[in-house]
Structure 1
Amino acid sequence: MNSLFPAPFANGPLFLADHGALDFLNTVALAEGQRHDFWQRDDDVKAWLAQSGLVALPDETPFEPGALLHEARELRETIRTLVARKKAGEAVDPAPLNRYLASANSHQQLLTGEDGALRIERIYASQTPAQLLAPVAELAASLLAEPHFELVRECEHPECCLWFYDRTKSHRRRWCSMALCGNRAKVARFRQQKRG
């Protein structure tokens, strides 16, 4: 990805949110106090979509260069605004997200797997960037309508801006990742105790 970006993000954004819509938000992260957008080109967005498994990418996308990047960033900020407003207990205007939902054009298809088992798969149109991103918008809508939205959290580490869905049994998760921010907090606490 970006060799200037420090580990653990050197290979791109991490999928640690336990929810695809929040992983979509986490394509912007803090590193050394600076916000970093992992999406700099259409190919970065395509790579994330492929890695997420949320969207089946067509062999070719008929978009103008930069159109997918622009639309993905717009959707990301729409979702970020809606999530932040709902977390703050403020009114949420669904109109911007509904624009993406309205662009969805899909159908179900019955497929046979390699083992001969039948499965149903939803196939989405992808003539426009908004159509290609429609499955992400649908996932975000289901997140925002989630009855246990209190389990959507932002990492408590002051040098982190990543979001996650707390699926732990006790619902006491505080960090985007114990290995990342949880560990940084432990080290900082240890140093503070040594000084005190």
Structure 2
Amino acid sequence: MKISSEQPTESVNFVFYGERPCLDFANTLRRRRDPLHPTVDLLGPTKSLTSWIDTGRSKASWAKDLPGLQMNTDEINALHIGELRDAIILLAEHKLEDSENTSTKSLITAVDTLNKWSAKAPQYFLSMKDDCEGFLLRPTLTPEQILGFVAQDAIIFFGTESSKRLKTCSHERCGILFEDRSNGMKRQWCSMKECGNRMKARRYTQKVATSLDSQQRENQ
């Protein structure tokens, strides 16, 4: 997989269409089906784990109550981010394709990676307010614990019936993963704004063009 190390020419930002932390985290590696659009790592040099979480607070329900990070994300090795993200993507692709091409060794390694990082999930402590009239939640949240939080969610997702709702956006150039929580599992797109409206407009244009072509043939 070729990953672009340069700033993409199009505007590519964090998206939170996955419905859960592990899929939104996987989607920070914008994988494209179109070879003309290289895969872009949104957690690369220009952006960070901190900015991903900060953006998620305003866009993803699961991130709204997460506290701020307690240290700079530069203190976590980028290889750790890639290791966890690659494990989630591998398990997702295996689930979607029910592929026999994925080696047992790769699957075991991915599972071990999730379990290893899950052990680093955040811890929360309760304490009294200074006036002793209420309580405060004292979380500890470091970059490693963010990855632990994501890994824990991935374990719950892949280990339960929820994984049956895993889908990839139907747009031919999109590779965004999401959990389809719609009634009847009829969701096709990562979002209507991102891909759905574009595909509908394209189909309408094709329909009009086909209709005009048919009329021209009839008039000949």
User: How would you bin the TM-score normalised by the shorter chain?
Assistant: 0.7 to 0.9
2:67–2:141 contact (8 Å) kept in structure 1 = no
Aligned to 1:69: 78
> Could you list the per-position Cα deviations for residues 102-156 of structure 1 after superposition, in whole angstroms to 9, with x for gaps in the alignment?
33462433576xxx775756x3463xx5344111111111111221322111101
Q: Name stretches of at least 5 consecutive residues in structure 1 with no aligned partner.
A: none
CA root-mean-square deviation: 3.0
List structure 1 runs of 4+ shifted beyond 6 angstroms. Answer: none
2:69–2:141 contact (8 Å) kept in structure 1 = no
Aligned to 1:81: 90
Closer/same/farther in 2, CA of residues 85 and 107 from structure 1, 3 Å limit: same
Instruction: Read off the aligned partner of 1:58 and give its amino acid letter.
Output: L
Q: Rg larger in 1 or in 2?
A: 2
* 1:98 partnered with 2:110: no
Instruction: Read off the aligned partner of 2:38 and give its amino acid letter.
Output: Q
Closer/same/farther in 2, CA of residues 42 and 56 from structure 1, 3 Å limit: farther
Q: TM-score by structure 1 length?
A: 0.77
Q: Indicate the percent of aligned positions where both proteins have the same amino acid.
A: 23
Closer/same/farther in 2, CA of residues 188 and 100 from structure 1, 3 Å limit: same
Instruction: Read off the aligned partner of 1:39 and give its amino acid letter.
Output: L
Instruction: Read off the aligned partner of 1:177 and give its amino acid letter.
Output: S
* 1:51 partnered with 2:65: no
1: CA distance, partners of 2:169 / 2:156: 21
Closer/same/farther in 2, CA of residues 73 and 42 from structure 1, 3 Å limit: farther
- 74-83 or 153-162, which moves further after superposition? 74-83
* 1:163 partnered with 2:177: yes
* Number of aligned residue pairs: 184
1:104–1:124 contact (8 Å) kept in structure 2 = no
- 14-23 or 83-92, which moves further after superposition? 83-92
Residue 60 of structure 1, aligned match among 48, 67, 71: 71
2:122–2:141 contact (8 Å) kept in structure 1 = yes
Q: Name stretches of at least 5 consecutive residues in structure 2 with no aligned partner.
A: 1-5, 58-62, 211-220
